Amino acid sequence: MNREQVIKLKVKDVMNRDVIAAHVDDPISDVLSRMQKNDFNVMPVVDDDGKFQGIISYDSLNRRRSLPLTAKASSVMTNCPEVRQNDAAIDVVEQLMANELRGLPVLLKKRVVGIITRSDIINGFKSLRIMKEIKNREIMNENIPTISPKDTITTARKILHDINERNIAVVDNGHLVGVVGLKDIVKANYTDNKKETMAINRKYKKESGPVDIEVEAIMVTAPIALGPDDTILKAAELMIRHNISTVFITEDGLLKGVVSEYALLELFHSFRPQEGVYVQISGLSDEHPEVFDVLYEIIERSMKKVSKLLKPKILTIHVSRYNSDEGSRQKYSLTARLTTEHEMIYGKAFEWDLFKALDDTLEQIEKSARKVRDKQKERSARK
């Protein structure tokens, strides 16, 4: 498969037609049970007439974790873009990225006829020749937060929310010893098994009450991993086979980075014909529009510099905010990934000033772009 064939793929070519939907009046406990039984990340919700009303995901459940298990599906479902069977699959990639969703229902006259997920997209695009050529080290994110086995699931939940990911590596002295995911945390938060809760409390010598256990009690102790020189095709195949969103990259047992579904989606999205750079900023939804105006001005200046070296396609920036000890100031942590035609370049910064943090992050990306361009020139000179 080549890039032109990817652009021509329709939603109906890659979507899953085996759909299980929840009813608006179903209790959350039933919905969660079905999602876990079928290993779903997203479930559509319909009314008495079978018409689509919204979706439930582990993200929405995690945000509303204080609700009782008897609450109705309608209380946690969220809206989402509508997808049709004849839409271009590459356009759905952008919708999944822009809305930070794992899947979207496919509708026909307000009825759900299928679902298209990140995994379906990757499965449909995995026969691309480029998948056999790119190594994990070329697109893996090395700037990944980790937790220790003794951290609590509350800490894990907060980090996952801050970085907008579904899994986080559990590391002991630099070695990958496990992984804890959003599914595991949601299951622990929504458990209605009183005996299980009491047993966990006794094990960790807690008083009765809300469970906030150490991640080692719920983590997967044999996380799926590959080496830096394995291809991204291998990573994609593992994601599809095990229905996971991340593959950790290790060397001699030490964690080196991670290849995520999102990184593969960015690669696929870069094939889409477009003018300029596609920019996505997350973590600042409550900021004033004028702040975004300044951010985009800074980004535009930087991308003009980069475009003289490489062809930038997608720039993804995630912002996390941390309060100072006094609580009156916030410090900003920025992580950025620039997807070009042949490379992925990363940058990060931690500053009190948001604009300074962005400047520093983009400066790192510009320097890396120069290094990439210099290497390309050296390779060309040797040929």
Indicate the residue among 264, 299, 321 that finishes a domain: 264
Same domain, 32 and 121: yes
Whether residue 299 is contained in a domain is answered as yes
Kindly report the pTM of this predicted structure. 0.74
Domain termination site, one of 125, 158, 188: 125
Do 139 and 101 share a domain, yes or no?
no
Q: For all residues of the chain together, what is the average pLDDT?
A: 86
Considering its fold, how many domains does the chain have in total?
3
The bridge status of strand 278-282 relative to strand 344-351 is unpaired
Is residue 208 pLDDT above 70, yes or no? no
Residue 184 has pLDDT above 90, yes or no: no
| pLDDT tens-digit series, residues 124-176 | 998 888 899 889 998 898 878 899 999 998 888 888 877 777 889 999 999 99
pLDDT above 70 covers a percentage of the chain that reads: 91
> In this structure, is residue 130 part of a structural domain?
no
The answer to whether residues 213 and 297 belong to one domain is: no
Q: What is the pLDDT of residue 204?
A: 46
Predicted confidence (pLDDT) at residue 206 exceeds the cutoff of 60? no
Indicate whether 115 and 92 sit together in one domain. Answer: yes
Which of residues 125, 148, 169 is at a domain's end?
A: 125
Least reliable range by pLDDT among 46-60, 206-220, 324-338, 353-367: 206-220
Same domain, 286 and 258: no
Q: Does 146 lie in the same domain as 30? A: no
Q: Are residues 191 and 84 in the same domain?
A: no
Predicted pLDDT at 14: 94
Average pLDDT over residues 53-81: 85
**Residue 74 and residue 36 in one domain:** yes
Cβ partners under 8 Å of residue 365, min gap 6 = 302, 306, 336, 338, 345, 346, 347
Q: 320 and 211 share a domain?
A: no
Q: Are residues 199 and 178 in the same domain?
A: yes
Question: Is residue 56 situated within a structural domain?
Answer: yes
Looking at residue 186, which CATH number applies to its domain? 3.10.580.10
Residue 362 has pLDDT above 60, yes or no: yes
Structure tokens at 12: 């109906």
CA–CA gap between residue 160 and residue 146 (Å, rounded): 10
Same domain, 281 and 193: no
pLDDT at 69 over 80: no
> pLDDT tens across 221-271, in order?
889 999 999 999 999 999 999 988 899 999 998 999 999 998 899 888 887
Q: What is the pLDDT of residue 193?
A: 46
| Whether residue 244 is found in the same domain as residue 281 | no
Chain centroid, CA 355 distance in Å: 24
For residue 269, is it within any domain? Answer: no
SS3 135: strand
Q: Grade residue 195 by pLDDT with cuts at 50, 70 and 90.
A: very low
Range of the domain at 299: 274-382
Per DSSP, the residues of 162-214 read HHT-SEEEEEETTEEEEEEEHHHHHHHHT---HHHHHHHHHHTTPPSSS---B
